[in-house]
Amino acid sequence: MSPGQEDACSDKHGLLVVNADDFGGNRLASDRILHCFAAGGITSTSAMVYMSDSRRAAELVRASGLPVGLHLNLTQEFEDEATPAAVRSRQARARRHLSGQRLTRVAINPPLIPLIKRCIADQLACFRELYGGEPTHIDGHNHVHLSPTVLLALPRGVAVRTADSNPEAQPGLGTVIRRARHRFIAHRQLSTERFFAIDPVAASPTAMSIEALLANADSQSVEVMTHPDRDRDYALLMSAQWLQALKRRTVGSFRDLPARPARDDARLTPE
């Protein structure tokens, strides 16, 4: 926790969460994420389970202190040969619905919700086995968690990545959908007030573009999504400009968001 972190939950103070996706998805991602955290370039990660590097990554992270969430995977085939057959079968059925046409991502499919709940429970169980506790938050591989069907299957009250806060978005159906998702998540889940991908800045980083992105977190809670296995993301996260900019912010993880009132179903168990 950095200086001033105790004020992160105040309405007058910001919180910056720099989250690296795909931990455990492959060796390059896992190793670079740990490098970035050790250097101070990220503050959080989200881990994939039942993937090629899931077990090794979980073993490596234990001594690092890196906060770890669950990177829910309903779109990419499990790679771990030890994945139980029933778990693999359920996820394959979900993939057939969620990896296809865009309409399947934006439409609600009530009959699919029980299957998605089982898939979430499968991956939470594996996460607990690997990491010895609950994830700090849940986000989705390929943003699958933003599908209304998946959102309705998530455990109520758990911290979840919110929808994109693209300031340059033009009025239209896409903007309406993003805003609706953000409102739904804010009502049902715990999340940051805004969310940005680092991609536009990493493509052509300057002191001005870095400051413009991170300044959003000076007075509100913001998550910045990164993928350190991408060379340009990794180069930015390890750069002196980025590291210095983070030192001027209150940084943390989803654990540092204001807690909701205690509930009897606080454990991350799908309803």
Q: What does the DSSP 8-state code read for residue 62?
A: T
Active site residue 256: no
- Distance separating alpha carbons of residues 35 and 60, to the nearest angstrom: 11
pLDDT score of 267 more than 80: no
pLDDT score of 210 more than 60: yes
By mean pLDDT, which of 37-41, 145-149, 161-165 is the weakest?
161-165
pLDDT score of 167 more than 60: no
Q: What is the mean pLDDT of the chain?
A: 89
Question: What's the pLDDT score for residue 259?
Answer: 74
Q: Between 88 and 165, where is the model more confident?
A: 88
Which of 11, 21, 218, 229 is flagged as catalytic?
21
Question: What's the pLDDT score for residue 13?
Answer: 75
Question: What's the pLDDT score for residue 264?
Answer: 41
pTM: 0.88
Residue 85: partners with Cβ closer than 8 Å, 6 or more residues away? none
For residue 166, name the pLDDT band (cuts at 50, 70, 90): low
- With the CA atoms of 58, 61, 65 and 66 taken in that order, what torsion angle do they form, in degrees rounded to the nearest 10? -80
Domain extents for the chain?
A: 5-256
Question: What's the pLDDT score for residue 116?
Answer: 97
For residue 174, name the pLDDT band (cuts at 50, 70, 90): low
Is the domain 5-256 a CATH 3.90.1150.10 member? no
DSSP 165-228: --TTPPSSHHHHHHHHHHHHHHHHSB--SEEEESHHHHHS--HHHHHHHHGGGGSSEEEEEE-T
pLDDT score of 253 more than 90: yes
